Chain A
Amino acid sequence: MKLRPIEKDAFGRMGPGTITAQGFLGNDSRAPEEIIAEDEMEFARLGLDFEAVADELENLKIEGEKGLGEPLTVGKLLIQTGDARGMLPCPYGDGLHHKNAVSVRLADQPAESCVEGEDMLVFSDLSIHLLRVHHFCQGRGSPFRLEPALMARLVKER
């Protein structure tokens, strides 16, 4: 696949230590363009739409913010929003996003037994933007990986 210069630059900024210490690719051995292509196929298979899922995540964040930093039950989900100092630029260079972390899991599942990425979705304003605009769910092993199947499962439980 031939990459456009903007993609080449963005993918170059996705490793650890450039924008965030951990980077966006986790321990995924696939190239970013492969991650995007495979997640697009998975979205299609699950009948999901990037724009609609990004809207859902935004809504979950807004609902969770009503807990004022403490966990809050929303339907069958437990949402907690947290903030950190500063902003993060999008690796594609099209915006700055407040540094935050929203975690979403089933309310009846004890936190101690939750595995990030498997039972608990963790995302930020930047994750929502990457999903909506660039169809980038991040690499496997990234703490902010938006696993399509997990998103489909949790969004349905709302």
Chain B
Amino acid sequence: MSPILVGPLAVAGLSTVLAFLIAILDKFLNNYGQLKISINGGKKELVVKGGSPLLGTLAAEGIFVPSACGGRGTCGACKCKVLTDVGPHLPTEMPYMSPKDIEGNVRLACQVKVRKDLEIELPEELFSIKKLKTRVERIKDLTYDIKEVLLSLEGQTIEFEAGQYVQLVVPPYGDIPESAQRAYSMSSRPSDSAHVELLVRLVPGGIATTWVHKFLKEGDSVEIVGPFGEFRIHDTTASMICVAGGSGMAPFKSILNHMKETGAFPEKEIWYFFGARTTKDMFYLDELSALAKAWPRFHFVAALSEPKPEENWKGDVGLITDVLDRYLQGKIDKKKGLEGYLCGSPGMINACINVMKKNGMTEDKIYFDKFA
């Protein structure tokens, strides 16, 4: 053998032996075996295989903690209380933790590995969350960038409150090598437990929205996880001031149809402000106008921020916050009290909260579903 080859071959041989040793050691040293997870003071006990992140371990046992990034540690949604000492918070967790979270042992379930028996606390409602296999029954274009997607649960059912959301499981596709999950509010009525309807607006560069808009077809199988969320109608007699833009329409479609169908909360007056740029961005206009005619306590205010002369728009004009301000100042009866219900981008929500506060509404009576 040439002496030139001896060095590289020796290094290659040594590397192979070391890799083999590491693999063997990893198998034995990182084999945590069967471990116990005790949830909510022993109300639920799980026996699981150790070594994996808590988020995935719980999901394998049918307990779905909300996560918008699929466990990559970039959304901060999968917070839960870990009472067992599992070491200090990781740098990947810190951006999502308030001092109160840190003091209360709140952790990101996707960043904590199950390496010993754990005691954790989870909201009870997570136990009723299911993973459902669905089939796409219909995809309808509402505008050039918003699609209405109707999913059939094919014999399964879902129980939810109007205003809640599900996580859509996006499989690997095109250049996307990994599955991801994204949250979408349900626009369907709770009484139709055999279907889930979602409104999805195309976000440039968005993984889930690109999949829905460019890859998903009628007849395809889709997994969803849910229901999640605290956004729901509050049982009071106060009038509802609802504001949305774009696909923020979804929870309100569900809420309005549910209230009309069941006659729920009969004392509540409902004002619904919906903003878009031009008529090309507006949808469900006829349906909501017809609903307002047939349902005296429902008032629908559609506004365009940049109507073109040729559109001959007869409705309100301006940014939705300006329109809301005008109505709150002179057209809405405040005698029964007002509650705010908002769904949209953080910018829209913050701007609406400012307008509502300026008009005497209190922040504790403003409920919202922020996209972010």
Contact = CB atoms under 8 A, between A and B. Distances in A.
Contacts of A69: 245-246, 248, 344-345, 347-348, 371
Contact of A22 (B207, B245, B321): B207
Which one of A22, A67, A85, A143 has the greatest number of beta carbons of chain B within 10 Å?
Answer: A85
A87 B74 contact: yes
A86 B204 contact: no
A15 B31 CA distance: 29
Contacts of A68: 245, 275, 319-321, 344-345, 347-348, 351
B276 to A, nearest CB: 6
B207 A87 contact: no
A6 interface: no
Contact of B74 (A19, A82, A141, A144): A19
B323 to A, nearest CB: 11
A20 B70 CA distance: 11
A34 interface: no
Contact of B204 (A19, A65, A101): A101
A83 B319 CA distance: 19
Contacts of B245: 68-70
Contacts of B182: 84
Contact of B75 (A21, A82, A86): A86
A29 interface: no
Contacts of A141: 175
B33 interface: no
Given A84-B203, A84-B371, A88-B74, A17 B277 contact: no
A98 interface: yes
Size range of the chain B interface in the assembly: 35 or more
Interface string A96-125: 101111010000000110001000101010
Nearest to B350: A68
Contacts, number: 124
A12 interface: no
Nearest to B346: A83
B281 interface: yes
B90 interface: no
B77 A86 contact: yes
B76 A86 contact: yes
A148 interface: no
Contact of B345 (A16, A19, A83, A120): A83
B306 interface: yes
Interface string B162-185: 000000000000011110101100
Given A88-B74, A116-B204, A70 B177 contact: no
Nearest to B66: A85
A99 B372 contact: yes
B3 interface: no
A67 B305 CA distance: 8
Contacts of A26: 175
A70 to B, nearest CB: 5
B68 A86 contact: yes
Nearest to B176: A21
Given A68-B348, A101-B204, A111-B145, A22 B95 contact: no
Contacts of B69: 85-86
Nearest to A16: B177
Contacts of B95: 87, 96
Interface string A120-153: 1010100000000000000001011000000000
A93 B367 CA distance: 36
Given A16-B178, A68-B347, A68-B348, A122 B68 contact: no
13 contacts: A17-B177, A20-B74, A21-B72, A21-B207, A26-B175, A67-B305, A81-B345, A82-B206, A86-B75, A86-B96, A99-B75, A103-B204, A122-B205
Interface of A: 16-17, 19-22, 26-27, 65-73, 81-89, 96, 98-101, 103, 111-112, 116, 120, 122, 124, 141, 143-144
- 8 closest residue pairs by CB, A with B: A86-B75, A69-B345, A143-B205, A83-B372, A68-B348, A122-B204, A85-B68, A103-B204
